[in-house]
Amino acid sequence: MLAAVAALTWAAAFTASALAPGTAPAQVSAPDAAAPDTSTAPALPELTVLDARASPQRAFFAGRPVAITFGLRAPAPLALQVDVVRDATNRPVRRFVLPAAAPGVAQRVEWDGLTGGDKVAPSGAYRIRIRAADGRVRRGGRFVLRSHIYPVRGRHVDRGPAGAFGVGRNGGRTHQGFDVNAACGTTLVAARGGRVVRSDHDPVLYGHVVIIRGERTTRDYWYSHLQRRSPLRVGDRVRTGARIGAVGATGNARTVGCHLHFEIRSRGVPIDPAPELRAWDAWDG
Ligand SMILES: [Zn+2]
């Protein structure tokens, strides 16, 4: 609602500007037309953007929001449009309107990774464009947004054929996930933030297990054989990249050694997580 009101204010400021080309928008006191000397008074407000940053520069959807910050030097408060622009398309995915950004005041906008159409913005490089009523664009910060983070935060290697998705297991089962070997105790984080839907101990198969329903997905992310019970409880909300436990060898990993058994279930159906894991791992590059 606030955004809609702000957008109207923005539109009004720009309409006023468009109707009287060359004059300053309503928020800025324009030079008196009767003044004897206007040669030193700019027709449009001077605006300099200072210390523009986007943080973190490696952001993850459902992780810490991207903080877009800057200062400005200008003769008076003015309307600004702050666009989050996707490099791949050179188009804004999200627009914020600051109806009266004041000079000398730190400006801060937080972006949650959603587009103006309430969709998850695609992974990739983004930059900030700051535009004032004069139409001139100033550059803001740059950052990269990713949909997921690789969950094993330390040295790791794929377990190999025995850990691949779909291979046979005793008792007629098939392997419904993908195994990654890592030293016991290696930190595990949520590949995708969301809501914890299970956190308990299964002595037969999974050992200590955490399942997170991925934010803005129809997927569950399974992390199993954790070293000890996760501090997370059902219903907890977790951000992408938040610690959920450590690599262990509980459940039926006792005889295999420390590794993460990772599953993705899409609408309840296990899918092969290997291609995505490889992509997320490469993003860490
Ligand atoms: Zn496994």
Q: Residues 142, 161: one domain?
A: no
Lookup result for tokens 């993908």: 178
Tens of pLDDT, residues 72-83:
999 999 999 999
CA of 178 to the centre of ligand 1 (A): 5
CA of 238 to the centre of ligand 1 (A): 23
Of 181, 172, 193, residue with least CA distance to 242: 193
Q: Residues 274, 172: one domain?
A: yes
Residue 252: give its domain's CATH number.
Answer: 2.70.70.10
* Boundary of a domain, candidates 122, 146, 170: 146
CA of 26 to the centre of ligand 1 (A): 64
Q: Residues 94, 176: one domain?
A: no
Mean pLDDT of 141-163: 97
Q: Find the angle CA(161)-CA(166)-CA(172) to the nearest 5 degrees.
A: 105
Tens of pLDDT, residues 90-124:
999 999 999 999 999 999 999 999 999 999 999 99
Q: Does residue 151 sit within a domain?
A: no
pLDDT of res. 134: 79
Domain with 181, as residue range(s), is 156-284
CA of 160 to the centre of ligand 1 (A): 11
Categorize the per-residue pLDDT at 136 as very low, low, confident or very high, splitting at 50, 70 and 90.
confident
pLDDT of res. 234: 98
Q: Residues 257, 130: one domain?
A: no
Residue 80: give its domain's CATH number.
Answer: 2.60.40.2550
CA of 250 to the centre of ligand 1 (A): 11
Categorize the per-residue pLDDT at 252 as very low, low, confident or very high, splitting at 50, 70 and 90.
very high
Q: Residues 177, 142: one domain?
A: no
pLDDT of res. 148: 98
Q: Residues 48, 168: one domain?
A: no
Categorize the per-residue pLDDT at 40 as very low, low, confident or very high, splitting at 50, 70 and 90.
low
Categorize the per-residue pLDDT at 285 as very low, low, confident or very high, splitting at 50, 70 and 90.
confident
- Long-range contact pairs involving 4-7 (C-beta distance under 8 Å, separation at least 24): 6/96, 6/97, 6/98, 6/99, 7/97
Of 83, 121, 109, 101, residue with least CA distance to 27: 101
Contacts of 174 (CB under 8 A, 6+ apart): 166, 167, 168
